[in-house]
Each structure stands twice: as structure tokens, then as C-alpha cells.
Structure 1
Amino acid sequence: MHVDVMTTPQPLQDIGGLARRTHDAGFSGMLFTETGRTPYMNAALAAQAAPDLELSTGVAVAFPRSPFITAATAWELQEATGGKFRLGLGTQVRTHVVRRYGVDFEHPGPRLRDYVLAVKACFAAFRTNTLDHHGEFYNLDFITPQWSAGPIDAPDPKVDVAAVNPWMLRMAGEVADGVHVHPLGEPGYIARHVVPNVAAGAAKSGRSLDDIAVIVPVMTIVGDTDEERQRERELVRASMSFYGSTPNYAFIWDEAGFEGTTARIREKQKAGDFKAMAGQITDEHIATFVTESTWDGLADALIDRYGDTATRIVLYNALSDPDRFERYGEVAQRIRTR
């Protein structure tokens, strides 16, 4: 099982140092989210600073960029990393896509499916100089040598998608190379939804679950005393309330035995009371959704929870305290060598 560190994109002058530190700490790679900064330039600089790291976007927002531009960017990063780049794509949510990016969001699931196939068609075109994709949302059929990235001495980049509901999980299994599980994806949800639906999608395209990477971000609370764990506990509580406010994710709480959690969080959110939002996340929520452990026990705890299902785990809050980053790296090394 590979172990990556999750990070929001950093100022470009800082990313090289972080990439070298990540490599030296013992992580498999870095996963770059997309927030106010884009992930691709961070990945490019990380590739130059720490060539042995595996790099991925987790996830880049798809719809504001044309499939061709996304494919060309991924192609260059795959070349720069010597084949160690994964392109992770997601839809984001309607408000961001329409009101922040200014593009369409209709039929996001089928649109993302078509987008992934269009990106893969562009990869083929870079090698063959023939572009021929005609889908429900994207039609691409023009390329010349001048406007092609050209072949590279590496396999095509893997394309992963973020998925939560059963339809999206089946789609990921059918057309993608991996699936990014939601940060609220506790083991019960993975067993009930991720594994069977991704497997069903993979079977539809003549593949098996083993052909699809299952990439799981994991929240952790770690320390040898409760005082040491307390700061992370409150950070995790706030993160869980942020993710738990999205109506589409309500079923994850409900099925885990916490019915109505999303409604209660949204009530506080509408009042602008962010402290009260976090207050809706009880210690019982945390025990179900978060891995809490001593430092010596963390590797075993993570393997016990995710070893049978995850291809890669991504330590969500390894960077929450820079002074403990190397200790998380030691845990990553222990997991990787099991």
C-alpha cells in the first residue's frame, strides 16, 4: 500500500523544499488538491525537486479546462516525472463551477465520463497524430503535428476520478484508472459502496477491481498523550463539519448511524456559526471516521482499517503540524514495507 501526503498547492517558491522534505521523510508521493491555487505548476516544480516522488492531482477541477488542455498538461507532467504522474479529476460542486469558474455544470456525472474518455483520446492522438472523439459533451477531431505534444518515453498517464455516489463509482470503474474516495469515506462506506460499485464498473469494461486504484484520504489523530492528540482532534472536527455540510454526502453519515448530521451542520452554516458547525461532530463521529492512535500503533491501525481495500492512502493532515511531519513519514515507511 502506497502512502502519499496531501497538500494544498503552495507558493511556487516553496514547493521544491516541501517536495524534497516529503521524499526524505519516506512518503511514496504527493497529492495536490485544487483550491485557490492550481495543482499543475506545483506538480511540475515538485517533479524537478524530487524526481523519485509519485505525483498526482487529487483532484483537479475538470470542467473549467478543455479536455485537450488538461491532457496536454498531464502529458508534460508524465514526461517530466518519468511516468510517475496520475491525473486526478473531479466535478467540484455546482456553485463553484457556475459562479466561480463561469462554466456549465449540467449532467456532471455523464459530462465527467465523457471528459475522461476525451482526455484519453487526446493521449492517443499525441502518439498517433489522429484525434477522434465524439461524445455526448465533447467532440474533438482536429490535430496537426504543430499542435500535438508528440509521443513521450513513458506510458499514458493514469486518469483517476473523484466519486461518492454509486453511479459515479461505477463510472470510475468503467472508464478511469482509479477512484478518489471522499475524505468521509470510512471503512463501512468503502465496503458498502466503493468496492462493489467500482468492481461492477470495471467488469463492464472487461476489467477487475484489481485494475482500478482505490485512493483513500485518511484523517488521523495521533500522539502518545491525549494532550498531544487534542489539537488534531479539533482540526479534524472542523474538517469533518466542512465536508459534512454538502447535501450529496448526507447518506454517508446516515448509513454510519448518524442520521441528520448534514441537516444539523447546514443549520449552523446558514447562521454563519462555524464553531457550532464543528460542534455537531461528536466524539462518536470521530471514532467512526478517523484513525486515532499512538505513534507506535498508527501504521498497524491504518493497515487494519484500509489494508484490504486501498491501493494508496493519503495522509490528510500530515502537514497540519510541520514539527511532526517526519514522524508521519516514519509511519508511511512502515506501511510501505509491510
Structure 2
Amino acid sequence: MTTPQPLQQTGDLARRTQAAHFSGMLFTETGRTAYLNVAAAALAAPGLELSTGVAVAFPRSPFVTAATAWELQEATGGNFRLGLGTQVRTHVVRRYGVEFEHPGPRLRDYVLAVKACFSAFRTGTLDHHGDFYTLDFITPQWSAGPIDVPDPKVDVAAVNPWMLRMAGEVADGVHVHPLGEPGYIARHVVPELAEGAAESGRAPEDIAVIVPVMTIVGDTDEERHRERELVRTSMSFYGSTPNYAFIWDEAGFEGTTARIREKQKAGDFAGMAAQVTDEHIAAFATESAWDGLADALIDKYGDTATRIVLYNALADPERLERYGEVAQRISGAHQR
């Protein structure tokens, strides 16, 4: 997992990632666009599996998103996954300047509209009539046309039960939240995805479960302490969102979000991180020496995750190759 880089740097990062024997890269979307970084990576390192994780849906029309994903699927030789998310109201309304009403149902309709566009690129007929989007006009001049690889898979970010069921019903995969510890995955992700999949006549295993994992790894106490503090800060950032409070609460850390938000409102960022105790970190992150990290992750997520995404493998560029070795061991175990 990485945030998008200046485009001139993305190609080198992709080549180094491939040389370290990672299966692929997942680009988040913050101040820079995920799609352009995927394009740069695809051209620099053919063969990598690339995905947006996640791109913000609503500021772009479903057709624009579908056309972009279509070209990236072609450029990667069929190795692109389109990951979409709603973001939160403040960003969507006040930064992007678009509507945010009924975000869950809107995203459901958005996914169906994107898939209708994929069909239209192959057939020349666009026919989607949903609660939020109506798309029924396309001509050969304005169609990307067929490509020689399958349609891109479409994944969505989901946290609450309704969104997870929706992902199981209409999407090809779900991006689990970085706070998604194994108990949350077992209590919510797996059963809700299965219920949604049943609604559309699919098997639960048809839905990819993409899990970002925060790791604390090192062969000395000093190494692990440094990474533990980085993870503590990341967890306090995610843990400040009210919609995620139930994840803390159900894991036995009731009131964590309220305490973090109190410090956040006071502008006390160090105080925010201090609300995340070592007990929180033990439950939500994976700590290990280098030789044991792959096995620890397999033991923790092997029964539920389709793809493990190393959240902080790039926190220290010098350690990229060592994380790559971990990724190879996990991939090898998964293939067996």
C-alpha cells in the first residue's frame, strides 16, 4: 500500500516493488490521483497487479470511472482492480463539491452503473436505470471499445454491516478497513459478505477480501519501538472517525473514539496517539521479528483474507526488500 507519488517517481517505485517480488501495489487516493499512479506503474513494471485502494467514487461520473478503469485494465494486461469508496461527507461536499446523500445506496448504484458501462464498451448498448444514475446513450465514437482481457474487478471499501452486505451482493471484493482486526472480520465481514453474495446467487468465495495489515517488525527492541509508535499514530487517526467506534468497542476498548476525538478537538495530536495503548496495538496490529512475520500474518488472516496488503512496508524504503521476502512467503503459502 502506498499513497500516490509524483508521477516521475512512481515508475521507479513500481520497479523496486517488482524487484522485491511483491505481487502488486495498491494506491490510496489523497492529494494525488490513484489512477494516474496506476498508469505510471503499469508502464514501468508490466506484470504487477495494481489496484486503487480506494479511489473516491462520487466526484467522478460512473462513465468516467469506467472508461479510466477500462484503459488501465488494458494497460496492465488484465491485472487491474478498481477499488472504490465513498469518503466522508465533509470531503465529498466541501472539497469535491458534489452530493453525498444516501452514500451506501448511491455507491451500490454507482457500482452497477460502472459495470453497465463495461458491458456497453463491448456491446455498444448502454442501459442502466438506477435510483441515482441513468445512463442510456453511447456511440462508437465515444466508446472505448472491446479489450482483449476480462472486465476489471470492482471492489468497494466497506465497514458497517449494510455496506458489507452490499459489497457481497454487487461488488467483486471488499477493502477491509485498516482497523479490521480478526475478530471484526469474523463477526462482521465474513457473514455479511456471505449474506450479500447469497442475494445475488454467488458463493462467498467469489468475493475477494482485501485486508490491509499494520505490522511492527524488527529483530531488536529499538526497531520495534520505532514502528510501534508509527502504528500508534496511524491508529489514532483512523480511530477518530465516529463510524468506526464500534470496531474498538466490540474488541473490548469501549469509548476509544470518544477519547481520541476529545484530544483531536483540542488540537492535541500527541494526546490522540496516547489514547491508543499497547493493548490496542496488540489486538489490532501484528508484531514480530522478521523471521516470524509471514507465519504470524498467515495464522492471523489465512482463513479469511484473499489478499493481504502490507500497510507500512514503505515506511522505511530500506526495508522494502525484507518486506518483499515476507510477501513471497505469504504468496507461496497461499498458492499451496
TM-score between the two structures when normalised by the length of structure 1: 0.98
Task: Choose the corresponding residue for 2:275, options 280, 297, 304.
Answer: 280
Structure 1 position 64 matched with structure 2 position 59: yes
Task: Choose the corresponding residue for 2:12, options 12, 17, 20.
Answer: 17
Superimposed CA distance per residue, residues 101-130 of structure 1 (whole angstroms, 9 cap, x where no aligned partner): 000000000000000000000000000010
CA distance in 2, matches of 1:290, 1:301: 11
For residue 325 of structure 2, what is the aligned residue in structure 1?
Answer: 330
Structure 1 position 289 matched with structure 2 position 284: yes
TM-score between the two structures when normalised by the length of structure 2: 0.99
CA distance in 2, matches of 1:157, 1:142: 21
Structure 1 position 151 matched with structure 2 position 146: yes
CA distance in 2, matches of 1:143, 1:52: 32
Superimposed CA distance per residue, residues 129-188 of structure 1 (whole angstroms, 9 cap, x where no aligned partner): 100000000000000000000000000000000000000000000000000000000000
4+ long deviations beyond 4 Å: none
For residue 253 of structure 2, what is the aligned residue in structure 1?
Answer: 258
Deviation at 1:208, TM superposition (A): 1.0
For residue 165 of structure 2, what is the aligned residue in structure 1?
Answer: 170
CA distance in 2, matches of 1:185, 1:215: 11
Letter of the 1:269 partner, please give it. Q
Deviation at 1:211, TM superposition (A): 0.2
Deviation at 1:231, TM superposition (A): 1.1
CA distance in 2, matches of 1:46, 1:225: 34
Task: Choose the corresponding residue for 1:186, options 181, 187, 201.
Answer: 181
CA distance in 2, matches of 1:230, 1:48: 38
For residue 102 of structure 2, what is the aligned residue in structure 1?
Answer: 107
Unpaired runs of 5+ residues, structure 1, are 1-5
For residue 244 of structure 2, what is the aligned residue in structure 1?
Answer: 249
CA distance in 2, matches of 1:26, 1:307: 20
Deviation at 1:203, TM superposition (A): 0.6
Question: Between the two proteins, what is the percent identity of the paired residues?
Answer: 87
Superimposed CA distance per residue, residues 292-316 of structure 1 (whole angstroms, 9 cap, x where no aligned partner): 0000000000000000000001000
Q: Secondary structure at the match of 2:25?
A: strand
Task: Choose the corresponding residue for 1:55, options 34, 50, 56.
Answer: 50
Unpaired runs of 5+ residues, structure 2, are none
Superimposed CA distance per residue, residues 180-199 of structure 1 (whole angstroms, 9 cap, x where no aligned partner): 00000000000000000000
Deviation at 1:225, TM superposition (A): 1.0
Deviation at 1:29, TM superposition (A): 0.3
Q: Secondary structure at the match of 1:215?
A: strand
CA distance in 2, matches of 1:191, 1:335: 20
Higher relative contact order (CA 8 A, sep 6+): 1
For residue 135 of structure 1, what is the aligned residue in structure 2?
Answer: 130
Q: In the comparison of the two structures, how many residue pairs are matched?
A: 333
CA distance in 2, matches of 1:276, 1:241: 9
Task: Choose the corresponding residue for 1:240, options 235, 241, 263.
Answer: 235
